[in-house]
Amino acid sequence: MADPCARRGEDERSSPIPALRWEESPEGPVLVLLDQTRLPSAEVELVCADVPALVGAIRSLAVRGAPLLGIAGAHGVALAAARGADVVRAAAALEGARPTAVNLAVGVRRAGDAHREALARTGDPREAAAAALAAARTLHHEDAEAGARMAAHGLALLDELLPGGGHRVLTHCNTGSLVSGGEGTAFAVALAAHRAGRLRRLWVDETRPLLQGARLTAYEAGRNGMPHTLLTDNAAGSLLAAREVDAVLIGADRIAADGSVANKVGSYPLAVLARYHHVPFIVVAPVTTVDPGTPDGASIEVEQRPGHEVTETAGGVPVAPPGTPAYNPAFDVTPPELVTALVTEQGTISPVTAAALAALRR
């Protein structure tokens, strides 16, 4: 694999940095990423000049989140085409970088199809590269628009389920602008409630072992002035038992045809807790996350991450005896019967059934 993406400075910034952008440089186009592994302590950009570097950034979680992975994958195909690399080989490498998030493959194939069709039509590699980039940019724009519609549908659902406002929402992992082309999925719903004056508290699960909730969701909530409180993952049960949560909002990395939801590990136990305590469990995800080619939850490939993420801190300090084996799935799967509603850009589905998912327009 090529060297990882080059890093840009750690200067303090008062305005949000885009999670991903295309940039022209004297040496050729590059893909610039906000390195999410360095947040919240430092805002550092990674400059990826080729697909192997982008694959490394995806695997290291420097860029992450299902919708944004789709956008990154599409831009990766465009980058390969613009740099004269083997587009088919680049697309295969990108698709295989993380197996669970279906959006990554969707984005790669969309840009790859645009490249292939343009090349067949014009025979001009430059035209084909431009077509791939246009497809990536369109996907980016569509995702931002989808996020805005999901936020509106999700807020309407919260108001319907919980009349009177003052919503207290528990979320898991990170689902804001760091994972999308716009303001996110589940986080965007909480943000819409905040802007409408109807968010009383955003409860933020820390999300072990890589602490995406503590590092990233708390970072985004603070930037937006949202009332929020961080809790350890294993405190969620007592919080629900104390009736301090009105709804649980999560995103998704893949939704099977039967409605099973793959999301960051820890989501499934939250769904069980929510059902026991009669609290709505709401999944917010774009239609691109629904995979009709995956029939059920058992068919979803769950990515297994390195054990050192569990046995060491991010700084490499051991928290377990040397040689301790670790079980570290990146995701778990929640069955559809535990999902109160699925919010997409096309509206809300409840109950979540195979028939309702099959009716979604793609």
The first and second tokens of residue 79, run together, are 């980058």
So what's the pLDDT on residue 14? 38
So what's the pLDDT on residue 7? 64
Distance, CA of 198 to CA of 181 (rounded, Å): 25
Domain boundaries, the chain: 6-142, 149-358
So what's the pLDDT on residue 40? 95
Residue 77's contacts (CB-CB under 8 Å, 6 or more residues apart) are: 87, 90, 91, 94, 108, 111, 112, 115, 132, 136
So what's the pLDDT on residue 15? 45
Is residue 72 within a helix (H) or strand (E), and if so which, with residue range?
helix 66-82
CATH topology (fold) of 149-358 = Rossmann fold (3.40.50)
Select from 310, 298, 302 the least CA-distant residue to 98: 302
Select from 268, 251, 269 the least CA-distant residue to 101: 251
- Where are the extended beta strands (E) located within the chain? 6-7, 20-25, 28-34, 45-48, 167-171, 199-205, 228-231, 247-250, 254-256, 261-264, 281-284, 290-291, 331-334, 341-344, 347-349
So what's the pLDDT on residue 2? 42
Answer CATH for 6-142 from 3.30.300.20, 1.10.10.10, 3.40.720.10, 1.20.120.420: 1.20.120.420
So what's the pLDDT on residue 16? 59
Active site residues: 253
Q: pLDDT tens, position by position, for the chain (362 residues)?
A: 344 576 655 444 434 579 999 999 899 999 999 999 999 999 999 999 999 999 999 999 999 999 999 999 999 999 999 999 999 999 999 999 999 989 999 999 999 999 999 999 999 999 999 999 999 999 999 999 999 999 999 999 999 999 988 999 999 999 999 999 999 999 999 999 999 999 999 999 999 999 999 999 999 999 999 999 999 999 999 999 999 999 999 999 999 999 999 999 999 999 999 999 999 999 999 999 999 999 999 999 999 999 999 999 988 999 999 999 999 999 999 999 999 999 999 999 999 999 999 999 76
Is residue 29 classed exposed, middle or buried when 0-12, 13-18 and 19+ CB atoms within 10 A define those classes? middle
